[in-house]
A and B are shown apart, each in its own frame.
Chain A
Amino acid sequence: MASTLPPGDPAPADGTLPPEAVAGLGSRPFGVYVHVPFCATRCGYCDFNTYTAGELGTSASPQSWLEALRRELDLAARVLGSAPPASTVFVGGGTPSLLGADGLASVLDAVRGAFGLTSAAEVTTEANPESTSPEFFAEILRAGYTRVSLGAQSVAPHVLRILDRKHTPGRPVAAAGEARAAGFEHLNLDLIYGTPGERPDDLQASLDAVLDAGVDHVSAYALIIEEGTAIERRIRRGELPSTDDDVLAERYEQVDSVLSTSGFRWYEVSNWAASVAARCQHNLNYWRGGDWWGAGPGAHSHVGGVRWWNVKHPARYAATLAEGRSPAAAREILSEEDRRVERVLLELRLAEGLPLGVLDESGVAEAKVAVSDGLLSQSAFDAGRAVLTDEGRLLADGIVRRLLP
């Protein structure tokens, strides 16, 4: 979640939603996202809504955050009325593992208390390998978490240094081993490729380590140089070389080829899973236009065509809720066309693709041209879907622009 909030319409203070948005609740999967806005240190590439203890001072603490979170979840339960039990929960950040196993258990209890969970609910937390231990994993498993997503980024020390990642190179793999030993079936490792100074061997070493760790899910992201980050300043000053799209494309192909030959299959542009069961249901719900409540500072939500997002700063977030008001900063009610556009731009990123019926006539014609360009799959097209080819995955945004008026 990037740090600046988009422009939107004013959101009502009591958090109410239009009745037509709430009406379809339960007919789609319902997820809960919880944003933990704390980090031990800030990484040089990160522009997420996260704060170090030093930055927050006394204005917000994990304790006051948890209190505010409970208030928001209560509000959510009221606003949604007969909300269905959550089929997915995702605790992200920030660094959720900084809350400790107890803290994470409390978070999940709060979610359970507000909505309940389905019996097969997928419950994920992100974790920084440095703040985990065998006991940590055992405890959160007991608390009800079913999946852990670990930030590995790279195993190359010089790459980690540029990213400002503090962990020792072997730690993510070890952490994954501990989590598996504790009984976690579903584990993800995050990789970042295309960091200035990264060589193909560095990426190969990272991929080898990921495969050694025995996880069933990998997310690999090209490093995005976000405005206002330390790394962006260093590139601007010429201290670091800038990233080149052609190199990023080669790295992506390297990632895809290594993972594919090791039993992983892509199911979203930046996500690979070892089995269908290993796919992250929570994220799929984003991409398939499902409903979710995002709780916590700066978190985004979507229910039945209404998107809204919370105020960013933890202190303001807590204060607003303490006054009994919704923490939403702004919202937007999507038009039919907005929803169609979102379907195209989200579903096209998925391996399952997009039904051609979502496109208008000229969109279908464009899709046909994209097929002949080798960017969309011929067989999928014949079966009525727009599905990216390997080459098309790298050009997905451009294809979306072609498919829409």
Chain B
Amino acid sequence: MATFADTTFTPPERIRNFCIIAHIDHGKSTLADRMLQLTGVVEERAMRAQYLDRMDIERERGITIKAQNVRLPWVVDDEEIVLHMIDTPGHVDFTYEVSRALEACEGAILLVDAAQGIEAQTLANLYLALENNLAIIPVLNKIDLPAADPEKYSRELAHIIGCEPEDVLRVSAKTGEGVRELLDAVVRQVPPPVGEDNAPARAMIFDSVYDTYRGVVTYIRVVDGRITPRERIRMMSTGAVHELLEVGIISPEPKPSAGLGVGEVGYLITGVKDVRQSKVGDTVTSERKGATEPLAGYREPRPMVYSGLYPLDGSDYPDLREALDKLRLNDAALTYEPETSAALGFGFRCGFLGLLHLEITRDRLEREFGLELISTAPNVVYRVVTDDGTETTVTNPSDWVDGKIMEVYEPIVKTTVICPSEFIGTVMELCQARRGQLGGMDYLSEDRVELRYTMPLAEIIFDFFDSLKSRTRGYASLDYEEAGEQTANLVKVDILLQGEPVDAFSAIVHRDAAYTYGTRMATKLRELIPRQQFEVPIQAAIGSRVIARETIRAMRKDVLAKCYGGDITRKRKLLEKQKEGKKRMKMVGRVEVPQEAFVAALSTDETGDKPKGKK
């Protein structure tokens, strides 16, 4: 359906740019769907639930990984307004992408489930939005639910933002109730964008996506000047110049346009094939008479969590490489380099933004590329200073230099936990056990509290979220953001089978936690590794000092009692089958370790903020 919004170069005063800040299952996508319908850009018939979430995994996990944006026509008081809705990624790992999406807006809808109240990540993103001076429109969703308590949560939101409870809008994205009024409120409360029409063009990249047919599609928000097709553009971080093949808007399918003006949001296509050439946060300008000063806030994506990924079947290694190469086209934050493990064979050391990023990548490799993978325990990045003053960055326990270490720095994060007040004690206990430093505590309402801790990132990625959830019966929510580094008393714990270290099981842990880690791994492995024809000692060691020991007793009996004329064929076939099974074993020295043992031993149940699906 053609509308006035199809034409670009709309005067800024008739433009409103906004995003929706919401927790993963608080109904952001449903609300976006309803807006597409109400504004008429998607016909009822063509409506696909959660139109904007495209990837299967996103749909399944009910989260948005890649931001989408859409241009909507809306008329208020006879005035034709163009709305740009920017759908922000909903997870802690993508904080930087969120911050860029927020930067592209002047206002934000703070969408909160009327039955659950605000969650930690929403709060963190809200603070981010407030720092960016965005107009905040507080909204309670799901008011049609029987469990909804709009009175209580209106007070909570009002308390957090500093408004009146009556100012909090109430909608049901599911039924559509209140959504019109919300769109009207966006027009009235969000300020129009401001920029210099005559200045050299400057547009901020807030997302880029690889498309098989079109190459990289880059999403931009124009700040100053104009971006028009058939001119060359320059990426200001690298100076790279590209032909501009197409400029357009999304409504919600891509539509080419005559260009984009001040305050407008749209896409551009240059023909490049790798999202690394269109970096989120970078400034796009025209090649000729371009801007000299980039927009503020650009940052290179930096992996925070590393893990080794190995194919279960060694012969799948080339397939894994190919799959990573493909994923990389659409994931600027994913890094990987070949790595060899004595125990697991050939694989890749991969860097991720966080644990969810790791999980999603692993999931996609297994699902979309049909690979079976083993991933080693994730670790953070350490800065190690040795006694000769040399500084190294350790992203892999096997690079740990024993003995000569003078100082180790580990990344720390500011952690926010929101939970019902009855769990304060439990949460504090957990955070302290994970070397957390209490930064502060606030009551959001009479029975909900926000706790702020500074914690080592390494503690967070090690099953912290699961522990938190299980100790608070699922009520706690978690957010964290980088907060620099600190020195720490860290050691590498090696796990040895029959005296042979198994690199895949080595971990860098705090000295106080070394014994627990060593004992846990040794016990686990004793249960997971089948008895061999000889006794197998399992040791956990720091350097040459053994801190824990278990023994797998030798197998006593492995012989069939009867083998007569009628048993021979069967016996030979059984042997062939056992031989096949043996090929699926990983050899550690002389010890046959089933791959399942590796998978089980390495699954620490740390899952990060990973919802299993949407209600």
Contact = CB atoms under 8 A, between A and B. Distances in A.
B564 A286 contact: yes
B565 A33 contact: yes
B566 A246 contact: no
Interface of B: 533-534, 555-573, 575, 578-579, 582, 590
A262 B8 CA distance: 104
Contact of B566 (A299, A397, A400, A402): A299
Given A345-B572, A400-B575, A269 B566 contact: no
B555 A395 contact: yes
A302 interface: yes
B562 A221 contact: yes
Interface of A: 1-2, 6-8, 33, 221-222, 224, 245-246, 248-250, 252, 269-270, 283, 286-287, 292, 294, 298-302, 307, 309, 332, 338, 341-342, 345-346, 349, 369, 373, 375, 393-402, 404-405
Contacts of A402: 533
Contacts of B564: 1, 283, 286
Given A222-B557, A394-B556, 5 more contacts: A2-B567, A245-B556, A248-B557, A345-B572, A402-B533
Contact of A252 (B534, B557, B562): B557
A317 to B, nearest CB: 15
B575 A345 contact: yes
Contact of B570 (A2, A338, A398): A2
Nearest to B569: A6
Contacts of A224: 560-562
A246 B569 contact: no
Which 10 pairs from chain A and chain B are nearest by CB?
Answer: A1-B566, A249-B556, A221-B561, A300-B566, A249-B557, A398-B558, A396-B559, A245-B557, A222-B561, A6-B569
Contact of A395 (B533, B569, B570): B533
Contacts of A369: 590
Nearest to A223: B561
Contacts of A401: 575, 578-579, 582
Given A341-B572, A345-B571, A302 B560 contact: no
B533 A398 contact: yes
Given A398-B533, A400-B575, A2 B557 contact: no
Contacts of A405: 579
A302 B569 CA distance: 10
Contacts of B533: 373, 375, 395, 398-399, 402
A2 B570 CA distance: 9
Nearest to B554: A395
**Residue of A298, A301, A342, A369 with most partner-chain B CB within 10 A:** A342
A65 to B, nearest CB: 18
A286 B568 contact: yes
B570 to A, nearest CB: 5
19 contacts: A6-B569, A6-B570, A33-B565, A221-B562, A222-B557, A224-B562, A246-B557, A249-B557, A269-B559, A283-B564, A373-B533, A394-B556, A395-B533, A396-B558, A396-B559, A398-B555, A398-B558, A398-B559, A402-B533
A286 B566 CA distance: 9
A300 B569 contact: yes
A270 B568 CA distance: 15
B585 to A, nearest CB: 11
A395 B559 contact: yes
Contact of A349 (B556, B563, B566): B563
B534 A394 contact: no
A394 B561 CA distance: 9
Contacts of B556: 245-246, 248-250, 394
B609 to A, nearest CB: 43
**Residue of B556, B562, B570 with most partner-chain A CB within 10 A:** B556
B563 A346 contact: yes
B558 A394 contact: yes
